[in-house]
Structure 1
Amino acid sequence: MIRQIVHIDENKCNGCGLCVPNCAEGAIKIIDGKAKLISDNLCDGLGACLGHCPQDAITIIEREADAFDENAVHALHEESLKQSTHHHHGFGGCPGSRIRVFEDSKDDAAENTAISLKSQLRQWPVQLMLVPANAPYLNNADLLVTADCVPFAYANYHNDLLKGKKVVVGCPKLDNLNLYTEKLTQMIKNNNLSSITIAFMEVPCCFGMVMALENAIKASGKNIKLNKVKISIDGEKEHLS
């Protein structure tokens, strides 16, 4: 039958994963770094995922496709629930939501002795949407934009990344990226920032934070180099620029 259905342009898709949790039917998964429609009969063609693609890679087209099958959707959700319960992975194909457990080795446990560290936080609030764009402490500051999982994954966050900087934190998967971009644009416009660093997790959806900041710098009209630091789930740091 000819009907409306989601089409994903893989040339535009950057694998951020923001569309995955916004497809209630579970029809989209991240495969080999790209969002893919896993089965025609799981897509209702209503396009609830469209507004969550920052790359405009998702559109609704008309083509020959199997009819939408609600029973198949229910079966997929039941299978995902079984996998997440019994095998500790799943959650709609989004890598950032996959359950993982890390166990300390004997050597790690021996090294984790009690050490008292001083917080390097020098302002409040820190949540991006709560920090005023004209907060006085932002002027002439080194700004650290942090995906909110980073301080939990990277043990040396305070001394290595936060020290000497002002910080804003957020989650690109749970919040509105357009609002993030607007807020960051105003922060950059209103303040003579000395530098900007973004610390983000390796999971695909976290790249949305990088994209929001890159778009904000561009929209601000200022020429500021963006320093990118990627943190792996097991706490390793990688400088990308």
Structure 2
Amino acid sequence: MSDRPSLSTAIAPEVPAKPSVAYRRGLREAFGAPSLVLFASYLGFGALVRDSDLHILHGFFSTATGWALPGQIVLVELYAAGAPLLAIVAAVALTNARLLPMTVALLPLVRSPRWPRWLYYLAAHWIAVTGWAAALKACPNLPRDERLPYFLGFSTTLWTATFAATGFGFWLAGSMPPLVSLGLVFLNPLYFMLIFAGDVPTRLRLYALVLGALAGPAFHLLDPDYGLLLAGLVAGTSAFLLGGGHRASPGAAA
């Protein structure tokens, strides 16, 4: 009888996926800087809700259903200013339009035939820059069946922290100066910028960060209403052209 191993024993079996372990890993890794920064940002949002003469339930409902801080701020500020409902809806939709390409980019990475379709609708609701960036970094190193549970675990921690912070911010509103509340809100975009600045695989992204930081204040001074939109359009297009556009490879040197 031959001592040569058969094909079935020569090939090592695949390591089975452990979705529950991946979910718990996501829960743990969201603690620390990600949840603390979002907690501080939503303290500012909770204070803004109270300063706008809205009820705390309005703040909770906004965080529970429209979990995207820029859009939530636009909603509260326009409502407090007495803007028409149609204008508020249009402004919030434009503010949150960035979530669509983020969803399109993340879905192929976390998709697995193991999970039902409704679970992806839940995951899409929890797409925000912090969890999205963490998933893009961690998921390629995970078995495919563990990627969606990891993202859901990470987002569960963040969502819970922001929901609690909305209530605490509302309660603390009377003891926080308005400038402090605004400063807490701006921790969020600053943290996003540091995430991407700390891991810049291509010149294209570096150009976008630098040009966006320069163009934002300049275009705001020119037109406070459309400055942010114009800055994104001009800085993003310029970065695309300077970085070689579609010719920039993911592995290009920074």
Same fold (TM over 0.5): no
Higher helix share: 2
Which bracket does the TM-score occupy, shorter chain normalised? under 0.3
Larger strand fraction of residues: 1
